[in-house]
Amino acid sequence: MVLALCAFFCLSVEIVTARYFGRVSRTEKRRQAEYYAALTLRSGKADGKISVLVAGNSLLLRGVDFPELERSLRNDMEVKRSVFENTSFLDWYYGLSRFFRAGSRPDVVVLVLSPWQLVSDATDGDYTVQMMVDKRDLLRFGNETGADRNRMSVLALDKASFFFGTRAEIRTWMLNTVLPDLPSLTQFFRFDVSVTDDHNEAEIARRRLDRLRALCDQYGVKFVLAVPPAREDAGMAAIVDAAATQGVPALVPIRVLPESDYADLIHLNAQGAAKFTPALAQSLRQVLLTPTAQTPARSSAPALPGGAVGKGANAGSPRKSAAVAGRPLAAASF
């Protein structure tokens, strides 16, 4: 009887959570709506528009005025967004794989990550497994994240149970409901997200960009990296160089913005987003709508502020085309 009651309780919690959490949590509702909208993207639209999936984390959510981005690009592109906060390279490598397997076929994927997030081994843990990792990739994801047998059991439960996989998000929602002013405190928390320009991190970035490009190539999708602005230019040169060697267009619309454009230590405020959004739109037009032009080899292609770079040796291939440098909208130096 006790076992039966426990099983009934667990089943009830699972059903209630799966059915209602997306309704009471605005964040979860937005994530799920964006996920299913992304699955509707298809290439080769009859109206000639380019279908674009813009994916990323809170840097995209808070740093880009997405309705304005959609309005500025609507004549040429159908743009959808998918944001999962606290995500980095591994989350999105497996996340994009799941998107593609579920039927999403945009012409272009634009992944918005900072240099630190591209080279970091961090993931969003249990929630990533539940929402972004396909069950066929679970063992590979566990091995890549260094999971032992106990952790692999937890990953399996994350995937099998919506409640178990989203329990951290449920706790966060409850905490924010009880303490609505908590974000005013957490914005002052400090942690190091800087990347140096050393050889090791550049090599990590090259390997990871190659994996992302190869994944998108497998499904006939063009991959583009977009780097949001930061308080300082640390690590930008390494990422730009890595993108050039792998034939990946790297959009750097604005490298650095002043402190007044930030809501906290890393996220833009409305003023910063108003600067970055049109710059990103301009860079997307240049890399996606400008006919491919012959570019010099990497050794003679310097990193251009406020622009995009690609691999000149592959300039003849649409999937590995070099982007035209964008015009920076904010003159800032560090």
Task: Give whole-number Cα distances, 276 to 230, 253, 282, 288, 322, in Å.
Answer: 11, 7, 10, 18, 21
Rounded to 5 degrees, φ, ψ at 120 are -75, 150
Mean pLDDT for 15-19 is: 85
Cα distance between residue 32 and residue 26, in whole Å: 10
Cα distance between residue 285 and residue 214, in whole Å: 23
Rounded to 5 degrees, φ, ψ at 303 are -75, 125
Q: What pLDDT is stored for residue 238 in this prediction?
A: 86
Task: Say if residue 198's pLDDT is above 70.
Answer: no
Cα distance between residue 55 and residue 240, in whole Å: 19
249 neighbors 310 (Cβ within 8 angstroms): yes
Mean pLDDT for 57-86 is: 95
CA angle 177, 180, 186 (to 5 degrees): 120
pLDDT tens profile 159-189: 999 999 999 899 888 888 887 776 666 555 5
Which domains, and CATH codes, for the chain? 24-320 (3.40.50.1110)
**For the whole model, what pTM was predicted?**
0.80
161 neighbors 17 (Cβ within 8 angstroms): no
Cα distance between residue 250 and residue 244, in whole Å: 8
